[in-house]
Amino acid sequence: MINKLIFLTFAFVTCLFIPANTQSSKLDFKIHPDLRDLIEKEGAADLIIVFHDQADVTGAYKIRGKENKGRFVFQKLRAQAIKSQKRAIQLLNQSDQTFDAFYIVNAIHTEVNGQLLEKLAELPEVKMLIPNPKVSLEVPVDQQNTALNFRNAIEWGIAKIGADQVWEMGYQGQGVVIAGQDTGYEWDHPSLKEKYRGWKNGEVDHNYNWHDAIREISSLHGDAERTAEDNDCGLDSAIPCDDHNHGTHTMGTMVGDDEQGNQIGVAPQATWIGCRNMEEGWGSPASYIECFEWFLAPTNLSGQNPDPDMAPHVINNSWSCPEIEGCTSENWSLMQTVISNLKAAGVVVVVSAGNGGRAGCATVQAPAAMFEESFSIGAMAFNDTIASFSSRGPVLVDGSGRLKPDVAAPGVLVRSAIRGGRYASFSGTSMAGPHVAGLVALIISANPSLAGEVETIENIIRRSAIPTTTEERCGDVSGTDIPNNTYGYGRINAVKAVQEALWFFDDEKLGNQGVFLFPNPASELLQFRFRDWQGSSILAIFNSVGQLILEENWELNPSDVQSVELENFTEGIYFYKITGESREASGQFIKNR
């Protein structure tokens, strides 16, 4: 997996020297002190302008349907940003300054000199001006350097969580879109090409399916002068490209399958889209926010015509931004707001917990894994024990004491795709997160009515996880408790998660009779779920010629579940009738092998 370290630095452009009398002002409370130091030293500073007013999108939680949620959130966020940012954008345009105006969080990323810094701070709608630090990604923990080009087997992580058993049930991620923001993706890798949303009928279209947030070369590669030509993908690439291997590896674990024996992906019939947020492992809060915003409403390659209907169902985030190396409490709120808005829009945000676990407890301490809104993932080994590197909770850096991770997944020696059409095994929580993103796809493919219901999906994964305990005590939570700060709720279980997902239904499935049968057809067990039934009821089952086969008496409660064993039933069509104290229900089901 990938162990990401984050270092504080800034991109600079030499501008005018700022006189000493501009070094402080009555607006100091708005201006981060590092910005003045940077401008004095370099002439300009890379920063983020944060505005007071943030859109209220909580109304989305009352809306049904992922597309409806996404449109509502998109419209609310855009309207607030346009209203708040007008005067700041005018100042930037007057200064011929380039900028990125965000709406997923009400903020602008730009670069300014001292004079423009003061003018922006004078605007009453501006809350604060903060640095945009760079962050870095190191190679995965215990990376295996030998790339295995072929292996005819389902990968151990897929088998461990039971994803292959879910495939046999008929659910492989059909109709679900998975997104990833990372070092980029080799879109035409044999295990990824057929799964890419931009590949249809032998033709490729990257509009709405790919975005590159990298438009400058990082200065954090040492003293050597670097240009765009030094990066394998260049800058602002119009074609999906991976300059590191890490992104391709994570996407392979989510959807990969070359149909030649490399069954590396949890949800092989899901489709994927991607955004590059790091330049050879180096990114910034602005590049992460840009990718998150693009996922909320993907655009064409020119960055125009955003469409929230093209948003993914789930986003994998195998990166972190530790406070000690640049992401401070002053900018945590930006990313937290971004993730909260995506969640309101019906998008599940899966985040790797981090690789600081060798330092013990309270090592989930960086965005985005530390946030309550993130679904944070620890890493487990073959024998269902926590990986030594997997970060533990609780979250103490913000004073919350929040329990993390949420769940754990396979993350040691995970074999997946890398550049050049090859395969390799990496270890890290970066490898665990994609297993969970793939599981989200399996859940939605099994029950499409759950699309957009983020909290329900997350709760299904928590409840269905295999409870896992430890002697390790972190914070006030014993390792023998469930959940705990080592494994969360435990190791994910795809079979149980999908089975539970199939039990969630909308009013259309219940119908006027208030009864839902699952599964139908059924082979061994037929289950009835009720809404608003109460008291004594009689179930009668008849064969296709009307003969009574089974009769049972049930004492029902609202939202009750009852089961019927079908082991002695022959194959065919059966009819049922349920007679209650004040209502009746009837229908049919099929018994198969």
Cα 158 to Cα 268, 432, 528, distances in angstroms: 11, 11, 31
Name the residue among 155, 418, 414 with its Cα closest to residue 261. 155
Residue 129 backbone dihedrals phi, psi, to 5 degrees: -120, 120
Extract the tokens encoding 479: 């390792």
Beta carbons of 541 and 522 less than 8 angstroms apart: no
Strand-strand pairing, 99-102 and 107-112 = antiparallel
Q: Looking at 284, 391, 430, 537, which residue is catalytic? A: 430
DSSP states along 210-234: EEE---S--S-S-SS---GGGSTT-
Looking up tokens 């020119």, which residue turns up?
302
Beta carbons of 358 and 388 less than 8 angstroms apart: yes
Is position 182 annotated as part of the catalytic site? yes
Beta carbons of 192 and 251 less than 8 angstroms apart: yes
- In whole angstroms, what is the distance from residue 436 CA to residue 434 CA? 5
Is position 537 annotated as part of the catalytic site? no
- In whole angstroms, what is the distance from residue 17 CA to residue 541 CA? 87
- How many C-alpha atoms does 376 have within 13 Å on its Cβ side? 32
**Backbone angle region of 381, left / alpha / beta, with phi > 0 → left and psi within -120 to 50 → alpha:** beta
Helix (H, G, I), strand (E, B) or coil at 268: coil
Residues 6+ apart with CB under 8 A from 568: none
CA dihedral over 85, 91, 94, 97, signed as positive or negative: negative
- In whole angstroms, what is the distance from residue 207 CA to residue 305 CA? 10
Peptide bond between residue 410 and the one before it cis (omega within 30 degrees of 0): no
Burial class (CB in 10 A: 0-12, 13-18, 19+), 150: exposed
Name the residue among 592, 589, 586, 590 with its Cα closest to residue 540. 586
Q: In 65-200, which residue ranges form alpha helices assigned H by DSSP? A: 66-94, 114-122, 156-161, 163-168
- In whole angstroms, what is the distance from residue 316 CA to residue 338 CA? 14
**Backbone angle region of 234, left / alpha / beta, with phi > 0 → left and psi within -120 to 50 → alpha:** left
Cα 88 to Cα 13, 82, 111, 145, distances in angstroms: 20, 11, 13, 49
- In whole angstroms, what is the distance from residue 120 CA to residue 430 CA? 38
Q: Looking at 109, 211, 246, 435, which residue is catalytic? A: 246
Beta carbons of 91 and 120 less than 8 angstroms apart: yes
Is position 52 annotated as part of the catalytic site? no
**CA-based angle 155:161:162, to the nearest 5?**
85
- Cα-only R_g, the chain: 26
Q: Looking at 46, 84, 109, 182, which residue is catalytic? A: 182
Extract the tokens encoding 451: 């699309």
Beta carbons of 423 and 151 less than 8 angstroms apart: yes
Amino acid identity of 337? T
Beta carbons of 355 and 141 less than 8 angstroms apart: yes
Residues known to be catalytic: 182, 246, 430
